[in-house]
Amino acid sequence: MKNMWSILVLLAFLFMGTTADASEDALGPVLRDLVMQGLQATQNEDIGTVLQTIHSQSPAYNKITEYLPRIFAEYDIKYDLVSYTYLGADHEYAVARITQTAEKVNQNPEAPRFQNNKVDIIQVFRKENEAWKFWNQVILEYALSEE
């Protein structure tokens, strides 16, 4: 009888582990879709949609709302997602590693020269009203490229 309880306890832990892994596996594509939505909205210069992808309490939110109109007025930029790796989550935050490129399509001649670039970042996400949103990021590498 003691062995049966041990097996039941072991099965319960295995089942709970499988459930957690399945939900985490499902979160990776959700966050990737959010990244793509943010890149597409930025490329389309759609401030409203960009802001919908960012957590309203994000430490970067005010700076983004301040700078986006100026950036959109001065530059047309094409963004590409080069790589995306979901790293994990806890009850409050989720993390992914993202590499993206930004390539100038056009710019206002009066604006400072835009330099094409490739950036490797750790992106942090946080839930707001049951939806995952961008929270903050850390730049791992930033490389300028030729036009």
- Domain residue ranges of the chain, discontinuous segments joined by +: 29-144
Closest by alpha carbon to 68, among 89, 53, 47? 47
Residue 1's identity, in one-letter code, is: M
**How far apart are alpha carbons 22 and 79 in whole angstroms?**
31
The rounded distance, in Å, linking the Cα atoms of 96 and 63 is: 22
pLDDT digits (tens, 9 = 90+) for 65-103: 999 999 999 999 999 999 999 999 999 999 999 999 999
Query: pLDDT per residue over 1-42, tens digit each?
Result: 443 333 333 333 333 333 344 455 799 999 999 999 999 999
The domain made up of 29-144 is a member of CATH 3.10.450.50: yes
Please choose, from the candidates 95, 92, 116, the residue with its C-alpha nearest in 3D space to the C-alpha of residue 104: 116
pLDDT of residue 18: 34
